[in-house]
């Protein structure tokens, strides 16, 4: 997978951070307008063949890959290429927000693009999405009597996304340094396609979720602003009851670099079954942070090994599905 610039820029002066609104609307950059590439959207991989993972024994038990994953990656790539021009960090994909964006896109398609906060809240709760999100929606109309031979309608959805890059407000939101993550959803009917992009500001960037050789759950990532936020705990809960923690670890199970914010969390889950890819009872990893006196948190061997962690006094910063991340099949694709 492509690397992304780190969020080590919080101490940089604001006037050193680029802002696309400093440019006149429609102004060209590097000889081309926003969204223009050497080829049209998606053209470079138009004939790309799908890899069949179904017969590979190492991937048995894993759910099918999302058919829209490549379109999402292409959309995020176009956003981040523009963000790079202003020295702004890359947006990170938000897996649960992808699912919520799909449902909300379908709702908006059926209700003349009229947003509904109550419906959005219900959808977010259904998919266990936390935090506030800015909603952007793009539309592309389908040509009559032309049927796309691409089941993902990649070109059409890229056109809908391209609309957002042509609108001053939407472009400003997509390239704002205030946002860290994005969830992208799709919906289509016989007349048009819709893309919904959910922008959020989060405290953590998680780069790995997997299982160690001895059966423990391991998650790696970094705190975006380590001077202001300290990772304090990680827990696993079932989707049927997110208030029930079947495993939890505090600072004693966290390796943490206070300067860079990099962390490795290890939850001792040996013997627990159906933690990953559970279809009957999906489970989630939750990460909890503290925002006061973060410099006093002791980690690893310096922490109290028998501390009873109480998350009521902590802030829930991230909730991830208990699936391998990044998906090893996607790494092979890339």
**Which tens digit of pLDDT belongs to each residue from 140-182?**
999 876 556 677 899 999 999 999 999 999 999 999 999 999 9
Burial of 245 (0-12, 13-18, 19+ CB in 10 A): middle
* Same domain for 50 and 111: yes
**Where does a domain end: 138, 166, 200?**
200
Burial of 192 (0-12, 13-18, 19+ CB in 10 A): middle
* Same domain for 241 and 215: yes
Instruction: Evaluate whether residue 243 is within a structural domain.
Output: yes
Instruction: Evaluate whether residue 1 is within a structural domain.
Output: no
pLDDT attached to residue 147: 59
How far, in Å, CA of 225 to CA of 228, rounded? 6
Look at phi and psi of residue 128 and say left if phi exceeds 0, alpha if psi is from -120 to 50, else beta.
left
Instruction: Evaluate whether residue 317 is within a structural domain.
Output: yes
107-120: pLDDT as tens digits: 999 999 899 999 99
Instruction: Evaluate whether residue 3 is within a structural domain.
Output: no
CATH number at residue 291: 2.60.40
**φ, ψ (nearest 5 deg) of residue 221:** 175, -160
Residue 199 DSSP SS3: strand
* Same domain for 214 and 161: no
13-49: pLDDT as tens digits: 443 345 554 443 334 344 334 334 334 444 444 446 7
Query: Would you call the peptide bond into 326 cis, given omega within 30 degrees of 0 as the criterion?
Result: yes
* Same domain for 251 and 308: yes
* Same domain for 184 and 214: no
* Same domain for 158 and 253: no
* Same domain for 196 and 211: no
Of 60-64, 226-230, 282-286, 319-323, the one with minimum mean pLDDT is 60-64
Instruction: Evaluate whether residue 7 is within a structural domain.
Output: no
**Where does a domain end: 200, 219, 245?**
200
Residue 173 DSSP SS3: helix
How far, in Å, CA of 222 to CA of 131, rounded? 18
Instruction: Evaluate whether residue 5 is within a structural domain.
Output: no
Confidence of residue 72 (pLDDT cuts 50, 70, 90): very high
Instruction: Evaluate whether residue 214 is within a structural domain.
Output: yes
Range of 293's domain? 204-333
**Where does a domain end: 140, 168, 200?**
200
For the chain, the domain total comes to 2
Work out the angle between the directed axes of helices 154-166 and 69-85 (0-180°, nearest 10): 30
* Same domain for 286 and 173: no
Instruction: Evaluate whether residue 247 is within a structural domain.
Output: yes
* Same domain for 226 and 169: no
Q: How far apart are the first and last CA of the chain?
A: 6
Of 127 and 48, the one with more pLDDT? 127
CATH number at residue 107: 3.40.33.10
Tell me which residue of 25, 7, 141, 69 sits closest to 325, measured CA to CA. 69
* Same domain for 256 and 178: no
* Same domain for 239 and 186: no
* Same domain for 161 and 217: no
How far, in Å, CA of 121 to CA of 135, rounded? 12
């Amino acid at each position: 997978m492509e690397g992304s610039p780190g969020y080590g820029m919080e101490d940089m002066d604001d006037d050193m951070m680029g802002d696309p609104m400093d440019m006149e609307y429609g102004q060209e950059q590097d000889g081309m307008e926003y969204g223009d590439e050497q080829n049209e959207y998606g053209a470079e991989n138009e004939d790309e063949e799908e890899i069949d993972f179904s017969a590979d024994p190492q991937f048995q038990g894993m759910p099918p890959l999302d058919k829209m994953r490549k379109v999402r990656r292409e959309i995020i790539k176009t956003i981040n290429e523009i963000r790079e021009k202003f020295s702004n960090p890359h947006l990170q994909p938000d897996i649960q927000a992808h699912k919520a964006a799909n449902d909300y896109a379908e709702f908006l398609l059926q209700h003349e693009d009229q947003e509904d906060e109550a419906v959005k809240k219900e959808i977010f709760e259904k998919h266990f999405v936390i935090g506030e999100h800015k909603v952007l929606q793009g539309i592309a109309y389908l040509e009559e009597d032309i049927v796309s031979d691409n089941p993902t309608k990649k070109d059409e959805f890229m056109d809908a996304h391209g609309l957002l890059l042509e609108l001053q407000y939407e472009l400003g939101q997509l390239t704002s340094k205030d946002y860290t993550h994005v969830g992208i959803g799709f919906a289509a009917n016989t007349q048009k396609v819709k893309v919904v992009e959910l922008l959020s500001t989060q405290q953590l960037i998680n780069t790995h979720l997997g299982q160690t050789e001895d059966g423990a759950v391991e998650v790696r990532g970094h705190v975006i602003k380590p001077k202001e936020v300290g990772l304090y705990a990680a827990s696993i809960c079932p989707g049927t009851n997110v208030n029930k923690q079947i495993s939890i670890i505090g600072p004693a199970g966290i390796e943490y670099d206070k300067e860079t914010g990099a962390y490795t969390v290890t939850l001792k889950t040996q013997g627990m079954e159906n933690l990953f890819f559970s279809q009957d009872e999906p489970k989630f990893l939750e990460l909890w942070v503290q925002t006061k006196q973060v410099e006093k948190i002791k980690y690893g061997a310096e922490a109290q090994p028998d501390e009873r962690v109480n998350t009521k006094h902590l802030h829930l910063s991230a909730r991830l599905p208990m699936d391998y991340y990044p998906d090893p099949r996607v790494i092979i694709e890339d």
